[in-house]
């Protein structure tokens, strides 16, 4: 059944086998010789391609698309044109969604939120992001990102897999596949989800799915609640000692069968059980925040005490990074503000601002920021014009793919930088455009990967995360 491996069910090429041998001798039999943890370089080139600046990644994915005009792309001059029709010279007949394309009027809507400059480099932040503003000198704010999709499903799929249509591996799966694991007892690629009220944009397993890569590169969801990883907790009737005995019985029986099988095959299965057993220990340790001191919560905010919040997940992300998890993906839902930005956006910002900044500060204090790349991004931006008509205290913004703002920090990224410029309406990029594929190329670059050489053959052709495009944005790099 296993097609691409010399040993059915086990995907080790020569390089991986050698790695496995080293693991066995250096760390004891079985340890780290584990499918989900093994570096696998089936594409033939040993990774990294060059010295990486980052070894781990945290992606703070803001699902629904935060409004760049109200948060990171200051356009104070729009106040004077508030309510005026967006000039055709700006829109240039570009595609709108069918939610606003039928509107007879597209009135400019200035942000009611005040912007200020922060840090030595004077980066501009909205008053809704006071904590993020405080770590300005660590951040590279990109105002010139643009995408090709105008609806949520294709856009977030594009951001995470490099393609609008389903079927491609997610960024984390690519990294798991290319770089393998650095942890002995935690998965390579962990996913957490927060937010999620009725009407928030849905998510989809393909955003952490392996596409055509071997399925073990799929992201593992870490969930708040009793069973943080599926089936982690022993069922009633089993205590640790019973489970240990039970596993030993299974191991003894499996070993009886291995005489005529490839030696690694049964051992590998045994190893999976051993890793599972260790995860039963390591995951609760990871999620047990009782040892976190008071000042942790001062950093991340009191929300972090509440499991399942974005803040708690940020704190968990730091704990994962400490434990050498390669790729941590947080989804925070609920940024799709077609209406009532003035009330909904501040609330959303309160949920993420302090914790995002706290995470940067915390990583920095622990010396982890240097080789951890942190990215804060949604799937597209929002329109300068109002969806519907402007009310005194109410306005909404539709989807806008032509420009949006994100920030990056840590491993390999230049701090205190604003990259790119949009026109006076935060509509079109006028300087240093960064395409989603460029962002993906740059992320891979930080990890020591040449995105053009990092390929996987499927359906008769080589596939890349960046499809057949993408340029590393050197201006973002240290």
Partner 1 sequence: MKLVRSCLTARLLTALVSVSLPLTARAAGPSDHWAFQPPQRSSSPALRESAWPRHSLDRLVQAQREQRQIPPAPAAKPSSALRRLSYAIRGLPPDTDDVAELLSSEQSEALERIADRYFASPRYGERMAAHWLDVARYADTHGYHADTHRDMWRWRDWVIDAWNRDLSYQTFTVEQLAGDLLPQPTLDQQIATGFNRNHMVNFENGAIDEEYRLEYVADRTTTTATVWLGLTLQCARCHDHKHDPIRQREFFSFFAYFNNIDERGLDGQRGNAVPLIKAPTALQQAKMAELDRAIPQLERSIAARLNADDPRQSEWEQQLISSRELRTPLPQDATLHLTMDELHGNRLIDRQRPERTAQVNMDVELAPGTDGQALLLTGDVGIQVDDFPSWRSLDPLTIVIRFFPTSLDDCQLLTRIDAQRNEQGVSLFLRDRQLGLRWVQDGNVVTSMEVAAQGVLETNRWYSLVVTMDGTGTAAGVDWYVNGERRANEVRRADFVGPLVVKEPLWIGGAPNRDGIRGLLDDVRIFSRQLSADECALFAGQDPLRTVLTTDRDRRTEAQRQLVRRRYLEWSDPQFLSLDRAWREAVRDRRQLEQEAPTTMVMRELPAPRETRVLRNGLFDQPGETVQPGLPEVLNRRGARPANRLELARWLGSADNPLAARVMVNRLWQLHFGRGLVTTPDDFGTRGAPPSHPELLDWLAIELLDQSRASSGSLKRLQRQMLLSASFLQASDFAPSLEYDPDNRWLSRGPRLRLSAEMIRDQALAASGLLVNTIGGPSVLPYQPPGLWEEVAYDTQSFTAQTYHQSHGADLARRSVYTFWKRAVPPVSLAIWDAPDREVCTVMRTPTHTPLQALALMNDPTYLEAARYLAETLLVQTTTPASAGPTASSAARPARSAGPSAERAVWESNLAEQIIAEAFLRILGRPPGKPELAILLDAGQRHRQNFRDRPGAARALLSVGEAPRWRNDRDVDTAALAAVVASILALDEAIHVD
Scan residues 113-172 and list those touching partner 1 (CB under 8 A). Answer: 148-154, 158, 162-167
Q: Are 402 and 427 in contact (CB under 8 A)?
A: yes
Token pair 């993408």 in the structure block, residue = 470
Q: CA 85, CA 110: separation in Å to the nearest integer? A: 12
Q: Of these, 133, 203, 441, 473, which contacts partner 1 (CB under 8 A)?
A: 203
Answer yes or no whether residue 469 interacts with partner 1 by CB under 8 A: yes
Q: Which of 85, 261, 347, 391 forms a contact with partner 1 (CB under 8 A)?
A: 261
Q: Which of residues 340-399 bind partner 1 (CB under 8 A)?
A: 398-399
Q: Which is nearer to partner 1, 163 or 428 (CB)?
A: 163
Footprint (CB under 8 A) of partner 1, residues 167-196: 167, 187, 193, 196
Residue 359, Cα to own-chain centre: how many angstroms?
14
| Three-class DSSP category at 477 | strand
Smallest distance from partner 1 to CB 300, Å: 21
The answer to whether residue 245 forms part of the interface with partner 1 (CB under 8 A) is yes
Binding region for partner 1 (CB under 8 A) out of 78-86, 115-123, 416-424, 466-474: 466-474
- Which of the 8 DSSP states describes residue 457? E
Q: How far is the CB of 128 from partner 1 (least distance, A)?
A: 25
> Does residue 461 touch partner 1 according to CB under 8 A?
yes
The verdict on 216 binding partner 1 (CB under 8 A) reads: yes
Q: Which residue lies nearer to partner 1 by CB, 254 or 428?
A: 254
Nearer to partner 1, 6 or 122 (CB): 6
- Smallest gap from Cβ 103 to partner 1, in A, equals 12
Decide: is 415 part of the binding site for partner 1 (CB under 8 A): no
Instruction: Determine if 198 is a binding residue for partner 1 (CB under 8 A).
Output: yes
Query: How near is the Cβ of 285 to partner 1 at its closest, in Å?
Result: 16
Q: Could you give the C-alpha distances from 231 to 222, 248, 301, in angstroms and in order?
A: 11, 19, 31
Here the tokens at position 28 are 């004891």
296 binds partner 1 (CB under 8 A): no
Specify the residue, 266 or 455, whose C-beta has the smaller distance to partner 1. 266
Which candidate, 379, 390, 328, places its Cα nearest to that of 191?
Answer: 328
The least distance separating partner 1 from the CB of residue 223, rounded to whole angstroms, comes to 7
Q: Is 337 a residue that touches partner 1 (CB under 8 A)?
A: no
Residues between 431 and 460 with contacts to partner 1, criterion CB under 8 A: 435, 437, 459-460
411 lies in the binding site for partner 1 (CB under 8 A): no
Q: How many chain residues bind partner 1 (CB under 8 A)?
A: 99
Residue 250 engages partner 1 in binding (rule: CB under 8 A): yes
- Establish how many alpha carbons lie within 13 A of residue 330's alpha carbon, considering only the half-sphere containing its beta carbon: 30
CA gap 470, 453 in Å, rounded = 12
DSSP sequence for 144-183? EEE-S--SHHHHHHHHHHS-SSS-SPPHHHHHHHHH--S-
Task: Give strand pairing partners of 191.
Answer: 221, 329
- Whether residue 476 contacts residue 414, with contact meaning beta carbons closer than 8 Å, is answered with yes
Scanning the structure block, which residue is given the tokens 């003894």? 252
Asked whether 438 and 408 are in contact (CB, 8 A), the reply is no
Separation of alpha carbons 296 and 289, rounded Å: 10
What are the backbone angles phi and psi of residue 472, rounded to the nearest 5°?
-65, 130
Tokens of 302: 């009191």
Q: What is the largest CA-CA distance in the chain?
A: 81
Output the CA angle 327-201-443, nearest 5 degrees.
30
Q: Which residue(s) pair with 63 in the sheet?
A: 333
- Indicate which single residue of 32, 74, 275, 299 sits in contact with partner 1 (rule: CB under 8 A): 275
Least separation in angstroms between CB 417 and partner 1? 25
Asked if 468 touches partner 1 (CB under 8 A), the answer is yes
The rounded distance, in Å, linking the Cα atoms of 436 and 118 is: 27
Exactly one of 17, 183, 272, 370 binds partner 1 (CB under 8 A); which one?
A: 272
Under rule CB under 8 A, residue 401 binds partner 1: no
Between 240 and 347, whose beta carbon lies closer to partner 1?
Answer: 240
Which positions from 89 through 108 interact with partner 1, judged by CB under 8 A?
A: 95, 97-99
Binding region for partner 1 (CB under 8 A) out of 19-27, 244-252, 408-416, 440-448: 244-252
Cβ proximity to partner 1, 84 vs 432, nearer residue: 432
Question: Is 227 a binder of partner 1 (CB under 8 A)?
Answer: yes
Per CB under 8 A, which of residues 30..89 are in contact with partner 1?
34-36
Question: Could you tell me how many helices (H) and strands (E) the chain has, helices first?
Answer: 12, 17
Burial class of residue 133, CB neighbours in 10 A (0-12, 13-18, 19+): buried
205 near partner 1 (CB under 8 A):
yes
């Amino acid at each position: 059944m296993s097609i691409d491996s010399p040993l059915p069910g086990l995907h080790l090429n020569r390089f991986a086998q050698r790695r496995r041998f080293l693991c066995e001798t250096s760390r004891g039999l079985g340890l780290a010789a584990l499918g989900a943890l093994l570096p696998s370089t089936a594409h033939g080139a040993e990774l990294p391609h060059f010295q990486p600046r980052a070894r781990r990644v945290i992606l703070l994915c803001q699902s629904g698309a935060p409004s760049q005009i109200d948060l990171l792309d200051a356009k104070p001059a729009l106040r004077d044109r508030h309510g005026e029709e967006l000039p055709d010279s700006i829109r240039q007949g570009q595609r709108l969604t069918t939610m606003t394309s039928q509107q007879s009027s597209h009135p400019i809507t200035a942000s009611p939120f005040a912007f200020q400059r922060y840090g030595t480099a004077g980066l501009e932040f909205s008053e809704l992001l006071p904590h993020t503003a405080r770590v300005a000198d660590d951040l590279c704010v990109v105002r010139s990102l643009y995408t090709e999709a105008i609806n949520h499903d294709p856009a977030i799929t594009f951001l995470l897999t490099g393609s609008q249509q389903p079927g491609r591996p997610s960024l984390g799966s690519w990294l798991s596949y290319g770089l393998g694991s650095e942890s002995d007892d935690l998965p390579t690629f962990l996913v957490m989800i927060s937010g999620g009220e009725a009407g928030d944009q849905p998510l989809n397993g393909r955003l952490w799915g392996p596409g055509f890569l071997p399925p073990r590169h799929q992201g593992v969801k870490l969930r708040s609640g009793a069973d943080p990883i599926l089936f982690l907790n022993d069922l009633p009737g089993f205590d640790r000692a019973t489970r240990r005995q039970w596993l030993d019985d299974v191991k003894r029986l499996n070993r009886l069968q291995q005489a005529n099988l490839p030696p690694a095959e049964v051992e590998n299965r045994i190893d999976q059980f051993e890793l599972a057993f260790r995860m039963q220990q390591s995951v609760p340790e990871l999620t047990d925040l009782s040892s976190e001191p008071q000042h942790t919560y001062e950093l991340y905010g009191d929300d972090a005490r509440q499991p399942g919040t974005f803040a708690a997940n940020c704190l968990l992300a730091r704990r994962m990074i400490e434990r050498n998890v390669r790729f941590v993906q947080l989804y925070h839902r609920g940024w799709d503000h077609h209406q009532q930005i003035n009330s909904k956006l501040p609330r959303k910002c309160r949920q993420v601002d302090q914790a995002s900044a706290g995470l940067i500060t915390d990583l920095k204090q622990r010396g982890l920021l240097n080789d951890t790349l942190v990215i804060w991004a949604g799937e597209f931006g929002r329109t300068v014009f109002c969806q519907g008509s402007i009310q005194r205290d109410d306005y909404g913004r539709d989807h806008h793919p032509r420009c949006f703002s994100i920030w990056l920090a840590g491993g390999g990224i230049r701090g205190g930088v604003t990259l790119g410029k949009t026109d006076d309406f935060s509509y079109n990029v006028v300087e240093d455009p960064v395409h989603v594929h460029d962002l993906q190329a740059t992320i891979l670059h930080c990890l020591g990967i040449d995105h053009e050489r990092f390929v996987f053959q499927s359906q008769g052709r080589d596939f890349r995360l960046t499809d057949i495009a993408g340029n590393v944005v050197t201006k973002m790099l240290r």
